[in-house]
Amino acid sequence: MRTLRSLERSYKNRSEVVSSAQQAYVAAYITKMKRIRLIQILILVVFIGLWEGSTRLGIVDSFVFSSPSRVVHCIITMIADGSLFMHIGITLLETFVSFGLVILIGLLIAILLWWNDSVSKVLEPYLVILNSLPKSALAPVFIVWLGNNMKTIIIAAISVAVFGTIITLYTDFKEVEEDKIKLIRTLGGSKKDVLFRVVIPSNLASIISVMKVNIGLSLVGVIIGEFLAAKAGLGYLIIYGSQVFKLDYVIMSITILCIVAAMLYKVLGYYEKKYTS
């Protein structure tokens, strides 16, 4: 889906060659999207205003629910001593490592399952069972096996996303048009040619879509791991803040996580438009 700005540019460039009905439709669509963006911003502003106002008027307890001003003060304080960037950096590092490993492992195993039908029939029920397991229940087991360190957090994050990735990619690989595969076979192509010339190119949009989902799941997995096995990171700040009743840390960390997740999703969305449009 094209962005509003690119649509406006295209509309201006082509306004002389398109019909009046098309111009009216595009203009109405642009107006609608602007209105939606404005409403989204207003909802956020009203929510923050009500939250801040209710704490200042004593309607809700700012010690328990914090407030926007207290969160901003907490951010400024932690930026000043450099600790905030350290916590964000550690969480992002763990997220990127686990995300990269999830994509690599998921893609390789999905290719293996597509390549060998017997292996896929053997492993498919196990993948379904492992994908349905509550991953938060596995984190304590990983701590016992691997210790209280970053490795445990990364493994916990991988476990959240990798099984769903394998199942999704394998299913998409199997649904490639049979006519395209027959054409490669007719021209003397091998199974390797089918994989690299038909299956993977046909599923490029699906792979990027899986990546968009996995960046969020990897972040969730990292936070789950940091809840149990971390000495730094945004997940650690959430647990630490709740234990010592510093709810400003909790709300601040949740807010930053929302911003980080949105930014990572936008970056992958940009590449999805670039390579699949």
What is the reported pLDDT for 108?
A: 94
Q: What is the 8-class DSSP label of residue 136? A: G
Q: Is residue 36 scored above 70 in pLDDT? A: yes
Q: Return the higher-pLDDT residue of 219 and 63.
A: 219
Neighbours of 68 (CB within 10 A): 16
Complete DSSP assignment for 158-217:
HHHHHHHHHHHHHHHHHTS-HHHHHHHHHTT--HHHHIIIIIHHHTHHHHHHHHHHHHHH
Rounded to two decimals, the pTM is: 0.78
Q: Could you tell me the pLDDT band of residue 30, with boundaries at 50, 70 and 90?
A: confident
Q: Is residue 264 scored above 70 in pLDDT? A: yes
What domains can you pick out in the chain, each with its CATH number? Answer: 4-60 (no CATH), 74-276 (1.10.3720.10)
Using a pLDDT cut of 90, give the percent of the chain over it.
18
Taking the C-alpha atoms of residue 7 and residue 27, their distance in angstroms, rounded to an integer, is 10
What is the reported pLDDT for 1?
A: 44
What is the reported pLDDT for 260?
A: 87
Average of per-residue pLDDT across 249-270: 86
Average of per-residue pLDDT across 2-10: 57
Average of per-residue pLDDT across 116-144: 82
What is the reported pLDDT for 7?
A: 55
Token pair belonging to 113: 């399952």
What is the reported pLDDT for 6?
A: 59
Taking the C-alpha atoms of residue 262 and residue 193, their distance in angstroms, rounded to an integer, is 37
Average pLDDT, the chain: 84
Tens digits of residue pLDDT in 79-127: 998 888 999 999 999 999 999 999 999 999 999 999 988 888 888 888 8
